[in-house]
Chain A
């Protein structure tokens, strides 16, 4: 158990819909990163939040957006879902940045039909 939780565990949506995925970080962890992991692939960086501000973004379109809240929770929102968005979405929290141990949540499995 890493102390990082994600909800929901599984989700099925259809093309064009919108989805919100949630992550609850360990208390005191002011950095959260979100990753997309397609089947059989390594995770790909979506974005990172530090103290409620986005401070880094990977090669993902603007329809992927996020929020981080003062209570160490965060959200990943995806608009206009596409079939290729089907993946495992992981969040990882840390005390400060990527040069500290990363604590991963169990992930949300999103299926887009």
Chain B
């Protein structure tokens, strides 16, 4: 079973700061999901990436499959970015069905004005 670890668990920063959230996993995978969860529960998919880097607005995700590590960066952070950020790994074998996504425990981010 894949162990997915995130750091930090909690992060409080000032508006405008550059934010980095890290994710590491124990078993090789072919892709990784980054998700955002707001208070109240709803989860939104931010990225799914299998190599290199993806950018969407102020969010950037990178992954190094060989080193089993991914990072999520937020540039020019804003209070509306306050949420829980979760990385999740599908099983390694093709189809990715039987074991479902394995989630990290999440990083609780608070951006203060």
A70 vs chain B, min Cβ distance (A): 19
Q: Check A56/B97 contact, CB under 8 A, given A100-B48, A103-B45, A104-B42.
A: yes
Tell whether A88 is near chain B: CB-to-CB under 8 Å.
yes
Interface size grouping (class) on chain A: 20 to 34
Interfacial chain B residues near A37, Cβ < 8 Å = 41
A79-95 with Cβ < 8 A to chain B: 88, 90, 92
How many contacting A-B pairs (Cβ < 8 A)? Answer: 82
* Interface 9-residue window, one of B13-21, B75-83, B88-96: B88-96
> In the complex, A106 Cα to B44 Cα: how many Å?
9
Candidates A31, A44, A45, A104; contact of B43 at CB < 8 Å: A104
B1-60 with Cβ < 8 A to chain A: 30-31, 33, 35, 40-45, 48
Q: Is the interface of B mostly helix, strand, loop or mixed?
A: loop
* Total number of B residues with any Cβ neighbor in A under 8 Å: 27
Tell whether A42 is near chain B: CB-to-CB under 8 Å.
yes
Residues of chain A whose beta carbon lies under 8 Å from any beta carbon of chain B:
2, 31, 33, 35, 37, 41-48, 50, 55-58, 88, 90, 92, 97-107, 109
Residues of chain B whose beta carbon lies under 8 Å from any beta carbon of chain A:
30-31, 33, 35, 40-45, 48, 86, 88, 90-91, 95-106
5 interchain pairs (CB within 8 A)?
A31-B97, A46-B100, A98-B97, A98-B101, A104-B42
